[in-house]
Amino acid sequence: MLFSSIPFLFYFLPAVLLVYYIAPGKFKNAVLLFFSLFFYFWGEPKYTLLMLTSITISYAAGLLIERFRGTRYARVFLWIGVGAGLLLLGFFKYADFMIANLNGIFGISIPLLRIALPIGISFYTFQSISYVIDVYRGDTEAQRNYIDLATYVALFPQLIAGPIVRYTDVAAELKQRSHTAELFSSGAFRFTVGLAKKILIANPLGELCDIFRESNEKSVLFFWIYAIAFCLHIYFDFSGYSDMAIGLGRIFGFRFIENFNYPFISTSVTEFWRRWHMSLGSWFRDYVYIPMGGNRVSTPRWLFNLFVVWMLTGLWHGADWNFVLWGLYFAFFLIIEKLWIGKILKKLPRVLSRVYLLFIMIISFVIFNANGLGGIAGDVGGLFGAGGIPLVTTETLYYLRSYAVLLIAAIIGSTPVVKTAVSKITPKITNVVIAPVMLVLLVLCTAYLVDGSFNPFLYFRF
């Protein structure tokens, strides 16, 4: 079930809000768990049991680690809890990828399993793993209430596309949380803004990208329009979903971490990854990079650590070599910024360092969205006229005129310009305007959903 769908907006969400706020405090987590399982069952009925299995393993591992803390058995149960999660993720997400590569390397013909990827498995697996590790480290006590732990992992606002919430960040709120009109209204507004970003900006940009793919009259300009449109599409698609998740969290009394902070205004790749998908970046930093030694090791070992982390970051996004190359592409620029050009970027005028970042980022997402390794050369080459394609065509100019307003609006919306302007308005005016703005956005989004059919969500495949 998509957040940006009629069933969710007008049936599921009102039902869960009604039951949740009627239920006594001690039953609120049970209500959320019930509706979260229903939410997941709606889209993945056969894999709901898989998620419950992952939760149960983490629950048992946490209790056993605490029971045997200080002994070698605690480490055994740590590896069981972490290993089970990675095994499930590896089997369902990467089995066919590994089989295909074995077939190619050794010239054999092992049949592909063709297993459907369970929605959100990358997100809820990482949350379960972080919980088990945090219990082992002593950063939190093991959760003895199964319903509370299951609510944390399966909580529908962040279940299928994050942000990746740490158990330590919401442990207190799972036990007791406050519900205020101010928190509810701010959550509702944040959700509505995220919904508008997804439906009114990301979806049309996605349509433009599809038009480009289907076009037989590509040009250099059309390749650049596509590249910019896809970057904006994935940003508004994913950040819009994160906004909706954070907003829903507030409505139910949870304060989820931010996941995006205007990444396109960055002046380096290093800064970009402090602003883009922040919950994933911090997860790899705290549970992979630092335990491997981080940068407090010899230079060769540090390079190896970066190589591993960014290869895994790429693989996390998808089981294909273009995702691995995408991750290593960023690793390369992070290394050269750290060793050589980082100081130069800081001395450059900000406009030049931003042009540097935007160029690298645009190329990166062309690699990201390519059809495997074979499609990268064609897509990246097209940006520079490879294959003798024309600079511009009549079709390109037609679509540029058709989508110019949307592209300009998306570019402005990806910067803090609007937020800065709103912050300068007095609170009294802001409070008067918020309700009508929310209503208008909701009406526009509903009209789009009723009339349109293009409503994918890119990160569902991760």
Asked whether residue 1 is domain-assigned, the answer is no
Instruction: Please identify which of the residues 179, 233, 277, 317 carries the catalytic annotation.
Output: 317
* 134 and 208, same domain (yes or no): no
Q: Please state, in angstroms and rounded to a whole number, the distance separating the CA atoms of residues 102 and 104.
A: 5
C-alpha dist (Å) from residue 114 to 87, 92, 100: 17, 9, 11
* 247 and 377, same domain (yes or no): yes
Asked whether residue 106 is domain-assigned, the answer is yes
Q: Please state, in angstroms and rounded to a whole number, the distance separating the CA atoms of residues 177 and 2.
A: 26
Q: Into how many domains does the chain fold?
A: 2
pTM over 0.95: no
* 273 and 389, same domain (yes or no): yes
Q: Please state, in angstroms and rounded to a whole number, the distance separating the CA atoms of residues 348 and 341.
A: 11
In sign, the C-alpha dihedral spanning 402, 403, 409, 411 is negative
Choosing from 156, 177, 198, the residue where a domain stops is: 177
* Alpha helical stretches, state H, 276-393: 278-284, 299-317, 321-336, 342-347, 350-368, 372-382
Q: Is the pLDDT of residue 320 over 70?
A: yes
* 419 and 293, same domain (yes or no): yes
pLDDT band at 94 (very low <50, low <70, confident <90, very high): very high
Asked whether residue 332 is domain-assigned, the answer is yes
Mean pLDDT of 343-354: 94
Q: Is the pLDDT of residue 450 over 60?
A: yes
* Alpha helical stretches, state H, 68-109: 72-106
361 neighbors 272 (Cβ within 8 angstroms): yes
Burial annotation 360-394 (CB, 10 A radius, 16+ → b, else e)? bbebbbbbbbbeeeeebeebbebbeeeeebeeebe
* 303 and 317, same domain (yes or no): yes
**Residue closest to 222 by CA, chosen among 64, 76, 374, 395:** 395
* 73 and 115, same domain (yes or no): yes
pLDDT tens column, 112-171: 999 888 989 999 999 999 999 999 999 999 999 999 999 999 999 999 887 999 999 999
* 326 and 378, same domain (yes or no): yes
Whether 179 sits among the annotated catalytic residues: the reply is no
Which pLDDT belongs to residue 373? 84
Q: Please state, in angstroms and rounded to a whole number, the distance separating the CA atoms of residues 276 and 239.
A: 9
122 neighbors 51 (Cβ within 8 angstroms): no
Choosing from 123, 145, 177, the residue where a domain stops is: 177
Range of the domain at 93: 6-177
Which pLDDT belongs to residue 456? 62
Choosing from 138, 159, 177, the residue where a domain stops is: 177
